[in-house]
Amino acid sequence: MTVLVVGSVALDSVETPFGKVENVLGGSAIYSSLAASLYTQVNLVGVVGGDFSKEHICMLQDRGVDTRGLQVVEEGRTFRWSGRYDYDLNVTETIETQLNVFADFHPDLPRGFERSDLVFLANIDPDLQYEVLSQVKGARLTMMDTMNYWIQGKRESLLRTIKAIDVLTINEAEARMLAGTGSLLTAAKEILRLGPKALIIKKGEYGAAIFADSFYFVAPAYPLEEVRDPTGAGDTFAGGFMGYLDRAGNTTNAAFNKAIVHGTILASFTVEDFSIERLRQVTMAQVESRYQEFKRFTHFEID
Amino acid sequence: MTVLVVGSVALDSVETPFGKVENVLGGSAIYSSLAASLYTQVNLVGVVGGDFSKEHICMLQDRGVDTRGLQVVEEGRTFRWSGRYDYDLNVTETIETQLNVFADFHPDLPRGFERSDLVFLANIDPDLQYEVLSQVKGARLTMMDTMNYWIQGKRESLLRTIKAIDVLTINEAEARMLAGTGSLLTAAKEILRLGPKALIIKKGEYGAAIFADSFYFVAPAYPLEEVRDPTGAGDTFAGGFMGYLDRAGNTTNAAFNKAIVHGTILASFTVEDFSIERLRQVTMAQVESRYQEFKRFTHFEID
């Protein structure tokens, strides 16, 4: 059982009302790999520059992540992102994006990676996502993330990739933008017509919902008193979701439901601290404990 | 089994992207009475002017609502509210409020009303809410709503009333304003210290959550493709919640959970049309059907 994760590896600088960090480990592929690695074997594909600390790579390997697909461009610099959040942590303000080595990135799967059971294509250029899909063989489930930038700027490429994957995961605003409608349920129906078997809509502090043909499930977020940094929550969610599904060994609706809850719980750890500080220390016992709590505070009986 | 409802009875003029209505039946006491009357006997207390159609009163009586507490000031005009919603139906823009007969309203309980089993004090002046509380005897559960206007303008009176009731129901922004903190969970804990046994936070299209000492439950909203007019959703929720609890005959945590879901489902009907058009036609079979669906799309197993 393996999950292939393709996405960005970044050095982030983030400021929130609760603190500030500079050049810390980040990127969609990092958050989702770490989350998934709690459940299963992860094959990571991405790119970094010569400035990327070897310690980060060792940390990933300690988690059992296969880093052979992490290209190191010695003469280049790692992708950098800096952003800020105000008290409304649902709104991200990007201060600067430096693509650096990411500008010329082409995902190249090391031998064996093409046979990964599950594939998660984090938010990168939809043409690159499509390149990966063309390389993988016999995956049980493929999932992709995307963002407003591609929805507006590369719609045709994006639609081609969406048509080719099993699950699309985006946030509420992106779903409305992609479908061109205000009603989230109508948007979900429109998006399912584009080809994916299922759509996951991430709602930040309100949780996440999954839509498929005659199937719907919604989970709230795990309630937290202190959210220090929301960066990486969506990618952590995706990693937890895919990791759980891979370990479960099936993709029934019941497994999807549980995977959504696992993704939501993993994300609740990520946002409790900056960068991957909390996520890297989470144990499965802590995840299970929140899962039990989650069951208690969402369960109700039929009369 | 009876629920006492005290609140506003209004003639509303509402505009949304989906239509426009003028001088239609509205007001917190109307929405919550109609919702609760699906489950139990309702005792209504409010005030209207001579311009208030007798047909509205007949309609309430047809639903089994005891309208003896509805004062009619023949020489006055009914409370009027006009508002507008844009595509983001979570944001209400009040155009005009005419208090009219509501300005001099003092709730006066007809004989027998003081023995109601459950009491819902909809959003009115906290001093008036306190007057009602002083008149009722032996209620199993009292609940109140309030709004930013009273939180900012009549804080001392409000705190006195909050301390005297069992359940406070407010929306997210009001909870943050009342507690003076951005974290909803921290706000909930602060508010519980003010005296109520439980706090319900309404989250509009994201559902509702209930907080009490070592008890938490959260329900999403029932997903709708078309929301035509959100007016009255919160009051309908409160009416459904109280109506269900009264019929259930107990206030255990399990009953609270089910009551939250019932309230949420009732509100989903209200917002499907303007004024009370949809709510007045809802049958218990339709409520039960959505309840079953709700169970399916929120249920997940423990591993």
What type of residue sits at position B254?
A
Return the minimum-mean-pLDDT range out of A207-216, B87-96, B251-260.
B87-96
Residue B90 pLDDT: 77
pLDDT digits (tens, 9 = 90+) for B235-263: 999 999 999 999 999 999 999 999 999 99
Residue A256 has pLDDT above 80, yes or no: yes
Q: Report residue A82 CA to chain centroid gap.
A: 18
* Class of residue A209 by CB neighbours under 10 A (exposed 0-12, middle 13-18, buried 19+): buried
**What tokens were used for B129?**
């809410």
What distance in Å separates the CA atoms of residue B11 and residue B50, rounded to the nearest whole number? 12
**What tokens were used for A101?**
């080595």
Q: With the C-alpha atoms ordered A170, A171, A173, A179, is the resulting torsion angle positive or negative?
A: positive
What type of residue sits at position B105?
F
What distance in Å separates the CA atoms of residue A37 and residue A268, rounded to the nearest whole number? 16
Nearest alpha-carbon partner for B287 in B299, B298, B295, B276 = B295
Q: Enumerate the residues of chain A whose CB falls inside 8 A of the CB of residue B91.
A: none
In DSSP terms, A202 is beta-bridged to A171, A208
Residue A87 has pLDDT above 90, yes or no: no
Q: E strands along chain B, which residues?
A: 2-6, 10-16, 19-26, 41-49, 65-73, 79-85, 92-98, 118-121, 141-145, 167-171, 198-202, 208-212, 215-219
Residue B218 pLDDT: 97
Q: Counting one residue from A and one from B, how many pairs have CB atoms under 8 Å apart? A: 97
Report the share of chain B in percent with pLDDT over 90. Answer: 96
pLDDT digits (tens, 9 = 90+) for A234-243: 999 999 999 9
pLDDT digits (tens, 9 = 90+) for A106-158: 999 999 999 999 999 999 999 999 999 999 999 999 999 999 999 999 999 99
What distance in Å separates the CA atoms of residue A206 and residue A267, rounded to the nearest whole number? 12
Q: Enumerate the residues of chain A whose CB falls inside 8 A of the CB of residue B203.
A: 206
* Class of residue B180 by CB neighbours under 10 A (exposed 0-12, middle 13-18, buried 19+): exposed
For residues B190 and B182, the answer to whether their CB atoms sit within 8 Å is no
**What tokens were used for A16?**
């929130």
Q: Which of B171, B300, B301, B302 to mutate to test the interface with A (most CBs of A within 10 A)?
A: B300
- pLDDT band of residue A268 (cuts 50, 70, 90) is very high
Q: Give me chain A's average pLDDT, please.
A: 96
Residue B87 pLDDT: 79
Q: Give me chain B's average pLDDT, please.
A: 96
Neighbour-count burial for A117-133, b at 16+ CB within 10 Å, e otherwise: bbbbbbbbbbebbbbbb
Q: What domains sit in chain A, N to C, each tagged with a CATH number?
A: 2-85+93-298 (3.40.1190.20)
Residue A91 pLDDT: 83
Residue B116 pLDDT: 98
Radius of gyration of chain A (CA): 18
- pLDDT band of residue B119 (cuts 50, 70, 90) is very high
B212 Cα to chain A: minimum distance (Å): 12
Nearest alpha-carbon partner for B202 in B142, B107, B122, B124 = B122
- DSSP per position, A49-92: ETTS-HHHHHHHHHTTEEEEEEEEETTS--EEEEEEE-SSTT-E
Q: Enumerate the residues of chain B whose CB falls inside 8 A of the CB of residue A39.
A: none
pLDDT digits (tens, 9 = 90+) for B157-184: 999 999 999 999 999 999 999 999 989 9
Residues of chain A with a CB closer than 8 angstroms to some CB in chain B? 87, 182-186, 189, 203, 205-207, 209, 216-220, 223-227, 254, 257-258, 260-261, 288, 291-292, 295, 297-303
Report the share of chain A in percent with pLDDT over 90. Answer: 96
Q: Which of B183, B217, B301 sits opposite A226 (nearest CB)?
A: B183
Residue A182 has pLDDT above 90, yes or no: no
Residue B295 pLDDT: 96
Mean pLDDT to the nearest integer, A35-49: 98
In DSSP terms, A84 is beta-bridged to A15, A93
- pLDDT band of residue B63 (cuts 50, 70, 90) is very high
Residue A175 has pLDDT above 90, yes or no: yes
What distance in Å separates the CA atoms of residue B221 and residue B205, rounded to the nearest whole number? 6
What distance in Å separates the CA atoms of residue B58 and residue B60, rounded to the nearest whole number? 5
Q: Which of B205, B260, B303 sits opposite A258 (nearest CB)?
A: B303
Neighbour-count burial for A220-236, b at 16+ CB within 10 Å, e otherwise: bbbbbeebbbbbbbbbb
Mean pLDDT to the nearest integer, B86-114: 92
Residue B182 pLDDT: 87
For residues B266 and B240, the answer to whether their CB atoms sit within 8 Å is yes
Report the share of chain B in percent with pLDDT over 70. Answer: 100
Q: Report residue B129 CA to chain centroid gap.
A: 14
Q: Report residue A176 CA to chain centroid gap.
A: 19
A52 Cα to chain B: minimum distance (Å): 35
Q: Enumerate the residues of chain B whose CB falls inside 8 A of the CB of residue A87.
A: 182
For residues B227 and B195, the answer to whether their CB atoms sit within 8 Å is no
**Do B220 and A223 make contact, defined as CB atoms within 8 angstroms?**
no
Residue A276 pLDDT: 98
